[in-house]
Chain A
Amino acid sequence: MNLTISVVNYGFRACFFLVLVILSSGCQTKQPKTYSCTLPSGYQVESAFAQAGADLAHLQCHYQFDQYMDNLLEIAASNPQEKNKEYFSHFLSDAKRNGVISQLQAQRYYRRYFSPDFVSLGAMHNNCTTTCQHQVDLVKKMKLELHDKKLGLLEVVGDRDSYAQADQEFNQLLILIDATCLACQENK
C-alpha cells in the first residue's frame, strides 16, 4: 500500500514537472527578425524610390527618414525631370500613411523643395509680434530654404521658371520684411 502511494506521488510530481517544462518552453518569447534599413544609392530613380518606400514601411527605418530624403534628392538630381516631383509626392504620401511623418510635415517637406512658397514664413501670428521679433533668424532660415529650393526646383525637377520666381520673391520679401519691421519698431 505504502509503495503504491509513493509511486502515485512520484508519478504526480513527474507529470507536474513535465507540464511546467512544456509550459515554460511554450511561453519563451521569440526575438523578432531585425529589418535591414539600407539607404538607396546608385542612379536609378524609380528603383531608389521603390526601395525607400519599402524600407519606410518598417518601424525600424522611420528614424532615418531624413537620410532617405537626402539620398533620394541626390539620386534624383542626377536625373532632373518633371516626373521627379511626382515620385517625391508619392513618397511623402506613403510616409504619411505609414506614420513616419504627419500631414503637416509632409506638406512642409514638399513645399520646401518643390514650391516657390517659403514655409519658413509663419502663418499663425502677425508680423509685428512674430516675424519682427526674430527677423535675423528668419532671414537666415529663408536663405537656407532658398538653397533647398534651388536643389529641388532647379536640380531635381529642372524647373527654372519656378526657381526664378522663388528667387525673385525672396528678394522682394526681404524688402517687405525690412520695411514692415522698421515700421513696427518705430510705431511702438
Chain B
Amino acid sequence: MHYMDIQKFEFRYALKERLEKAVAVVCCSLVLYCPISGAATPRQPTLNIFSTQVIENIKETGSAARSLETDLQSVFEDLEKHQQLYTESKCHGVVSDQGCEQISRQMATSYKAMLDTMADRLPEMERNIQITRDSLKTRLAKELGRNRTGADLQRLLRNDKQSISSVQRTRVRQQGARLSDRFRQYFFLVNQGRTGSLALLGSEMYLDMDETLELIQLTQQQIHRAQLYVDLSERMGTITPEMEQTVSGVKRIIFGEYDDDSGFVPATLDAADKPGKFCSEFDANC
C-alpha cells in the first residue's frame, strides 16, 4: 500500500473514532439532563383550578359580601322594629290613627331604604361573583373538562387520601350560611390545597356561585318591581306579602336565612320499639 494511502486511512479511522466519541457524549448528556419520569411514563397534568387570580377574586367577593351585610343589617333591624311596633300597636286595619299612620310611613321609609341600598349594591355584588365564577368556569372546563376523562375524576378523589373527611369540610353549600362566611370558608379550604379536595371544592364553589347569581338576578327583578310599586302607590300601608317576599329573598341571599315552614319530622321508631314485632332467635338486635 502506498504511504500516502496508509496515512489517509489512519486519518479517516481517527476521525471516525472521534465522531463516535462525540456522539456518545452528546447522547449521555441528553440522558442525564432529560427528566426521567417525563420520558418514561405518561403523566397526568397537574391540577390547576385555583390560580392566584381566582383566589384573589374569592377574597374580594367575600369582602364585598361582608360590606353589603354590614350596610343592610341596620336597615333590616329598623324594618323589623317598625313591623313589630305596628303589630303590637294593633294598627292592622286601622284607618284614621295618626300613630299608626306614622308607623306605616316609617315602615315604608325603611322598606324604601332597603330597596335603594339593594338596587345600588346588588349589581356590584353580582359583578364580583360573576368574575369569580367565570374565572373558575374557564379553569374547570380546561382542567376537568378537556384534560381529564371520567375515570380521572374518580382518581382525583382517590388521590386525596383523606377525601372522606375533607368532603365533610367542603360542604359549604348549605342552608343558613351567610354569603360572606361561605366565601371566607372557600378561601380557607383553597389554601389547604389537597388535589382531590380542590377538584370537589372548585366544583361545589362553581355550582354555588351559579345558583347565587341566578338568585341575585331574580331578586334584582323583584326589587325593580317593588320600587315601581312604592313609587306609584299613594299610600303605604303595612308590608304587603309581595314586599315580605322581596325582603325574604334578600335575606336568603345575603344572610342565608330561610323561613322554615316544613316543621319537625320525628325520627321513625326503632323496629324493636314497635309493639307486636316478631323477634327471632337468629336476630342479633333482639
Contacts and interface: CB of A to CB of B under 8 A. Distances in A.
Whether chains A and B associate is yes
B164 interface: yes
Contacts of B202: 179
Interface stretch (A30-38, A47-55, A114-122): A114-122
A138 B150 CA distance: 10
Contact of B206 (A117, A125, A172, A182): A182
B203 A175 contact: yes
Interface in A134-165: 138, 165
Contacts of A181: 145
Contacts of A175: 200, 203-204, 207
A66 interface: no
B191 to A, nearest CB: 20
Main secondary structure on A side of the interface with B: helix
Contacts, number: 104
Classify the secondary structure of B's interface with A.
helix
B144 interface: yes
A121 B145 contact: no
A50 to B, nearest CB: 28
A181 B203 CA distance: 10
Interface string B232-273: 000000000000000000000000000000000000000000
A173 B153 contact: yes
B124 interface: no
B210 interface: yes
A182 B150 contact: no
A158 to B, nearest CB: 14
B154 A187 contact: no
A123 B145 contact: no
A127 B203 CA distance: 14
A123 B157 contact: no
What class of interface size applies to chain B in its complex with A?
20 to 34
B153 A125 contact: no
Contacts of B184: none
Most-contacted residue by chain A among B152, B153, B167, B210 (CB, 10 A)? B153
B137 A127 contact: no
B108 interface: no
Nearest to B150: A121
A103 interface: no
A49 B203 CA distance: 45
B102 interface: no
B200 A126 contact: no
Given A128-B145, A187-B138, A182 B153 contact: no
Contacts of B140: 179-180, 183
B44 interface: no
Contacts of A169: 154, 157-158
B199 interface: yes
Given A178-B207, A182-B210, 8 more contacts: A121-B150, A128-B146, A131-B150, A132-B145, A138-B150, A165-B164, A180-B203, A187-B141
23 contacts: A117-B154, A118-B151, A123-B149, A126-B149, A127-B144, A127-B145, A127-B146, A128-B141, A128-B145, A131-B150, A138-B150, A165-B164, A176-B153, A176-B200, A179-B207, A180-B141, A180-B153, A182-B137, A183-B137, A183-B138, A183-B141, A183-B144, A187-B141
Interface of B: 136-138, 140-141, 144-154, 156-158, 163-164, 167, 199-200, 202-204, 206-207, 210
8 tightest A-B CB contacts, nearest first:
A121-B150, A179-B203, A187-B141, A123-B151, A183-B140, A128-B145, A183-B141, A184-B145
